[in-house]
Structure 1
Amino acid sequence: MTYLDTTYYFDFEDNSVQNLISEFKTIDLNAKGKAIGIYTKVRDHWKYDPYSITLSKVKYKSSHIAKKQSGNCVEKSILLISCLRALGLPARLHLGKVKNHIAVERLTEKFGSNELTPHGMVNVYLNNKWLKMSPAFNKSLCEKLNVEPLDFDGENSSFLQQFDSDGNRFMEYTDDYGYFDDVPLDFMEKNIKEHYPHIFDTNKHIMEYKL
């Protein structure tokens, strides 16, 4: 597999994904311009929602995510990867664990922790190097949290909002699981159940849990 392939999850041939990238095909943009444009679009047009957990395979298809109005970090990363590949830009999924330090009351209540895992971001190949970018936090949410939104300039990695605008610690990475050619649903399921066992019925395989 190359990082340009269509897959079950990165099904960018679907009209829902093609419609998202159509504007970037009709204007004269280089690879960097396309990457910046689609990154910003996915970041801001899908609200960040960390409270919906699904283990349903079909719901991680980019064509399914494209029809939603919100998504968690992994879902938004999948959608962005699919769009990047559709524009001829190699891209892959990168997973890790992050700890939030601001607005964590609900996170702690629902997850029993202020750590989120697996946290999704994107690796894109531009100018002969892999760059990291995270489309999770939409601009309007960042304004509410007093955090500068993550901009991507096409030349440097942009994946961590370490501090808010007042210098308070906002977010940190506590583990790095590496990158994946495709969506590793088995790994994600194991990871979620290990870190948040209380949200699953041990006698039942729950395919979706809305917190």
Structure 2
Amino acid sequence: MTHTGSADLVATPPQDSCSAPTWFIDSDDPRIVDFATATIAAAGAQTDREKAVALFEAVRDGWRYDPYSVNDDPAAFRASAVLAGGANWCVPKSVLLTAACRAVGIPAGLGFADVRNHLQSEKLRALMGTDLFVYHGYSTIWIDGEWRKASPAFNREMCERFGTKRLEFDGRSDALMHSYDVAGHRHMEYLRDHGQYTDLPFDQMLTAILAAYGPAMTGGVDAMSDVVDEAFHD
């Protein structure tokens, strides 16, 4: 049965509340388990920190970032669906990373923030009507007794192509969007924190997206495909 109910918002979630599978974070799906265990084995990871880093890099670079793959189908946001699909955007990629961590016994949740993209192209700004990206998603991962934030959104190839800094996660500090690109231009600015969740707050997120951009962001993917490569530069 499709579930789109509200997820629990907790300022500092206890790690045991972020360990079990949910409808969106279906960490018990055999495909998620196989992906996570194979990734860890290939990396030779032993500790939770090493495992989380390996999973972060696998999700970051294994799925190309595509902000135009947004849709309003809850099933598309399930971790197992993201795993089986192609290019995707920050929220589904974070759901996948969160599920992969839970699959190997590492507590993980989801965090959200509104961010401003200072390198947005004029064409993309005209399409969206703003340079504000609402409900940018990232994973929250319990490592060595602390919560760490990690955004697996921007893949290595995209960063190299557009001159943006690749996010690296070492498991000891947060890995959130860089404020400046490699040339020193202002890049991402965090404006509003929506907190940490034990599951994907789908209805809440979709309502915010529709309010900010209108139905084009969830129904006009084909029409927007010509500006994918201009997501960060004119």
* 2: CA distance, partners of 1:43 / 1:25: 15
1:2 to 13, 17, 31: 17
* 1: CA distance, partners of 2:169 / 2:154: 13
> Structure 1 residue 30 and structure 2 residue 47: aligned?
yes
- Counterpart of 2:128 in structure 1 is 111
Distance 1:24 1:67, change over 3 A: closer
Distance 1:60 1:24, change over 3 A: same
> Does the CA contact (< 8 Å) of 1:55 and 1:185 recur in 2?
no
Per the alignment, in what secondary structure is the counterpart of residue 54 of structure 1?
A: coil
- TM-score by structure 1 length? 0.91
- Counterpart of 1:137 in structure 2 is 154
Per the alignment, in what secondary structure is the counterpart of residue 113 of structure 2?
A: strand
- Counterpart of 2:70 in structure 1 is 53
Where does 1:4-153 land on structure 2 (aligned, <5 Å)?
4-24=19-39, 26=41, 27=44, 29-153=46-170
Query: What is the number of equivalent residue pairs in this alignment?
Result: 205
Encode CA deviations 1:90-113: one digit per residue, 9 max, x unaligned: 111101111111243343132111
* 2: CA distance, partners of 1:97 / 1:107: 17
Structure 1, unaligned stretches of length 5 or more? 201-206
- TM-score by structure 2 length? 0.82
**Identical amino acids, percent of aligned pairs:** 30
In terms of fraction of residues, the more strand-rich structure is 1
Structure 2, unaligned stretches of length 5 or more? 1-15, 225-234
Distance 1:19 1:109, change over 3 A: farther
Q: Point out 4+ residue stretches in structure 1 off by more than 3 angstroms.
A: 24-28
> Does the CA contact (< 8 Å) of 1:56 and 1:208 recur in 2?
no
* 2: CA distance, partners of 1:25 / 1:126: 16
* 1: CA distance, partners of 2:216 / 2:91: 19
In terms of fraction of residues, the more helix-rich structure is 2
* 1: CA distance, partners of 2:69 / 2:45: 38
* 2: CA distance, partners of 1:137 / 1:28: 23
RMSD, aligned α-carbons: 1.7
> Does the CA contact (< 8 Å) of 2:69 and 2:87 recur in 1?
no
* 1: CA distance, partners of 2:122 / 2:56: 29
Amino acid across the alignment from 1:171: M
- Counterpart of 1:203 in structure 2 is none
